[in-house]
Amino acid sequence: MAEDLRNGKIECDHDLKVIFSDGLERGPGVAFYDTLPHYAFYNNKDLGNNGIIYNYGVIQSCSICPEGYRIPTKADWEVLIKQLGGWSVAGKRLLSGGDSGFNATLNGRIDSYGSGLQNAIGFWWSNDLAVHSPKKEAFAFEVNNLGIVKIKGQDIRVGNHVRCIKMK
């Protein structure tokens, strides 16, 4: 997909309800910041082109991609980086206006401090838990405003964007 997912109609396992959070709360008691499925808008503003931010509870327990699509794995992100010329050049090609068609928008994320890092970094979930991490983390793909790409474990309570890819 060439844009961040904007799906608020989510089907979850075991009668779980997806909780809409306002994305403005801060501190350790922030409602978004737990392992239940949550989604929110950055700074509680639906700006249309920013997509929705989801925590990993949604990735683990819910279906959010359109039919025939899925959440990418860590390996899928690595293949994309390799196909775009490797770690040193892929990021610039992924940014909005780059030649990859990905058009990465640097829409930040939601963490225990609230919404942050807009215009600095874009974050997208993978479907893989970082199993060797001492914390509950899942892999996320990042592109920053300098075109640097990373794949690293992030706390599963953080809210990131989602891109879906076609199933083979």
**Cα–Cα distance for residue pair 67/99, rounded to 1 Å:** 27
Tokens of 8: 């608020």
What per-residue confidence (pLDDT) applies to 165?
Answer: 94
Counting the structural domains of the chain, the total is 1
Instruction: Tell whether 3 is covered by a domain.
Output: no
- How much is the pLDDT for 6? 63
Identify whether 134 is part of a domain: yes
pLDDT in the model for residue 160:
94
Residue 36 counted as domain residue: yes
Tell me whether residue 2 is in a domain. no
Q: What are phi and psi of 99, to 5 degrees?
A: -90, 5
Distance CA 56, CA 42 (A): 16
pLDDT value of residue 5 = 64
* pTM for this predicted structure: 0.87
Reported for 95-101, long-range contacts at CB under 8 A and 24+ positions apart, including other chains, are: 95/143, 95/145, 95/147, 101/2
62 lies in some domain: yes
Q: How many residues does the chain have?
A: 168
pLDDT at 72: 96
For position 24, what pLDDT does the model report?
53
**Does residue 124 form part of some domain?**
yes
Would you say residue 5 lies in a domain?
no
With residues binned 3-state (H G I as helix, E B as strand, rest as coil), the percentages for the chain, rounded to 5, are 15, 35, 50
State the pLDDT at residue 44: 75
Q: Has residue 1 been placed in a domain?
A: no
What are the residue ranges in the chain where pLDDT is below 50? Answer: 1
The residue range of the domain holding 114 is 11-166
